[in-house]
Amino acid sequence: MRILQNLFLTLLATVLPALTWAQTETAHWGGFPTPLSSVAEETTILYNIIFWIITVIFAIVVGGMVWIMLRYRASVNPTPATFSHNTLVEVIWTVIPAIICVFIAWKSFETMVYVRTVPEKGITVEVVAYQFGWDFYYPDFADGATNVAAAEPTVAHEQLSSAGVERLVKEMVVPVGTNIKLHVTASDVIHAFYAPDMGVKIDAMPGRINYAWFNPDKEGEYIGQCAELCGSAHGEMFFTVKVVSKEAFVDYINTQRVDAGLGPLAPLKIMQMVNGEAESISAPSVSAAEGVATAG
């Protein structure tokens, strides 16, 4: 019994601090990028919690096996014991794993509900994937049938280009500290929108609109790419999430409106949308999108 008690105390002593650590320290480790949105933060915390639980279980199981193999090896135990079954031990090794599984399931559902519940306030970005690139639209700032699209890239992306390979990469410009509600679709084959720093990965499928959301914490430019093998240039299918200040986003939207042949909106109107003081488009529209129209 002493051994079981010790094992249980070791488990508690290892798991509890690990859990506390997992709650607070989510910065870069385990191959994950530093989370830059609450969605990325939540999924990384879940990963850390499960990682530490399975690490401790692995140590206890493998450690126990090695200890038993050495301690009870035939050479030092010429007369083996003949007992079998121990109700208490069997109950313990059924109940504890069951509790751990329920805890993992509960944490997973909690995270899933957070990630899949798109907030009402914020701005909508329509994402249309095609072989081999991306279109981004801002239906909240459209006029009737004329949508507002992200700018066509004009200069090669520094990080993604090399000598001989010039890559023009489309930017999804979004304001910092704002809920970004994504409506994601594709105009030809199945693609996937993957923005690792934001913790967002969602299939882009013709004839269907998938949704996701994130709220970017920090201004900057973050690389994203297609995460579904979609054809010969799948590996070239990059985009960037460019997180800018709210003021810069207002200017950006008005520049894109003028480009689309629409007049600029009052900056206050755009700012109200960004600050969640005005109704955003919540029903999927993908109005200008080749997506749903083509795939029908």
Structure letter (DSSP) for residue 33: P
Q: Give the separation between CA 141 and CA 280, rounded to whole angstroms.
A: 9
> Smallest distance, Å, CB 233 to Cu ion?
8
Residue 257 binds Cu ion, judged by CB under 5 A:
no
Assess contact for 150 and 180: CB atoms under 8 A: no
Assess contact for 221 and 238: CB atoms under 8 A: no
Among the candidate windows 24-32, 88-96, 103-111, 188-196, which touches Cu ion by CB under 5 A? Answer: 188-196
> Smallest distance, Å, CB 191 to Cu ion?
3
34 in helix, strand or coil?
coil
Assess contact for 124 and 181: CB atoms under 8 A: yes
Residue 191 binds Cu ion, judged by CB under 5 A:
yes
Structure-block tokens of residue 134:
């991306």
Among the candidate windows 4-12, 107-115, 190-198, 282-290, which touches Cu ion by CB under 5 A? Answer: 190-198
Task: Provide the mask over 212-251, with x wherever binding to Cu ion is found by CB under 5 A and - wherever it is not.
Answer: --------------x---x------x--------------
> Smallest distance, Å, CB 11 to Cu ion?
45
Cβ proximity to Cu ion: between 51 and 132 the closer is 132
Amino acid at 72: Y
> Smallest distance, Å, CB 227 to Cu ion?
8
Q: Residue 173 CB: number of other CB atoms within 10 A?
A: 22
The footprint of Cu ion (CB under 5 A) covers 191, 226, 230, 237
